[in-house]
Structure 1
Amino acid sequence: MEKVASELPKTIVRRVVKDKLSRCAKGDADLNVHKEALSAFSESARIFIHYLSATANDICRGSKRQTINADDVLRALEDIEFPEFVEPLTAVLEELREKNAGKKAGTSKAKEVKKNKKRKLEEPPPKEEEEEMQEEEGEQEEENGDEDGSDGSESSSKE
């Protein structure tokens, strides 16, 4: 069989097939899947994805849109007579939307905190804070002057 560019990754197909078969198998039997069977699963999945995509695309164009959305895929599953997939897919989709909404909320909060920090750095401090900062600087200068043996006043250098 010639390798096709749109072939699904074999390791993922193997993992999905073995996972499903282990759930269906009775006992702890370790099931092996022949290489040709994995190729058949892979090709079947590829064809199913293309068929589902084409149907969802037709639904999307029928609605005069250019972007396929999740609702188009759900309708396509019903159109190609796989309605048993709609309910579990809808549940997974809702979980994903909730998870993404939580991430977006966290991201927007982080952005807001970042903006506030940036504003604080850009805004001049209030006059009270500015005066306190000047007083602190003056005290530090006095302390530094005392440490090096000077009296804090400006001294003239020898000419």
Structure 2
Amino acid sequence: MAEKEKVTQNGDATAASVPQTTAGETEELPKTIVRRLVKDKLSHLSTESEISVFREALQAFSESGRIFIHYLTSTANDICKESNRQIINAEDVMKALEEIDFLEFVEPLRASLEEFRQRNAGKRSGSSKAKEADRKGKRKEPPAAEAEDEQDEAKSDEGEDGSDD
């Protein structure tokens, strides 16, 4: 962890032990996910039931995955900029995979993306319908609430006049 210099009121600089995260620490892939992926893939290739992986090997897998993600993202970003856009979309990632010669990933990724979109289409339309119903319900409630308030006021006025006689 890096130490940060702290400047006091009189201008003196002192070293304060303030924990700071470096760029590498914040970009690290989740270790449990990496471990699970590695063990899952290795178990498919091995006849042994228990697979053990050294910590250094997991770190190497994690680092190589991080570098791959950066490289793919950078390439997709370049493709996006060539199209005069600022936001990377799925097609940019597909083209980037082709450009960096990972053609074997394109079709499985397209299939996963289509499955993801179909799965979320129902959720999105369902949540949109629910939100629209909420909006319509909220628009109708205030006039209804005002009418109820007017009726309550009218009843209380009648009750005061009729019950005291």
Q: Which residue is 2:132 aligned to?
A: 112
Q: Which residue is 2:34 aligned to?
A: 13
Q: Which residue is 1:38 aligned to?
A: 58
In 2, Cα distance between equivalents of 1:58 and 1:39:
29
In 2, Cα distance between equivalents of 1:13 and 1:108:
35
Q: Does 1:95 align with 2:115?
A: yes
Shift of 1:35: 1.1
Which of structure 1's runs of 4+ aligned residues deviate more than 6 A? none
Shift of 1:55: 0.7
Q: Any unmatched runs of 5+ in structure 2?
A: 1-21
Count of aligned pairs between the two proteins: 136
**Structure having the larger proportion of residues in strand:** 2
Q: Larger C-alpha radius of gyration, 1 or 2? A: 1
Q: Measured at CA, do residues 11 and 124 of structure 1 come closer, stay the same or move farther in structure 2, by a change above 3 Å?
A: closer
Q: Does 1:67 align with 2:77?
A: no
Q: Which residue is 1:23 aligned to?
A: 44
Calculate the TM-score normalised by the size of structure 1: 0.73
Q: Does 1:154 align with 2:164?
A: yes
Q: Which residue is 2:4 aligned to?
A: none
Amino acid at match of 1:95: E
In 2, Cα distance between equivalents of 1:30 and 1:63:
48
Identity of aligned residues (%): 58
In 2, Cα distance between equivalents of 1:85 and 1:120:
51
Calculate the TM-score normalised by the size of structure 2: 0.71
Shift of 1:93: 0.7
Amino acid at match of 2:115: E
SS at match of 1:66: coil
Matches within 5 A, 1:138-149: none
Q: Any unmatched runs of 5+ in structure 1?
A: 128-132, 142-151
Amino acid at match of 1:30: E
Aligned counterpart for 1:48 among listed residues 68, 72, 93: 68
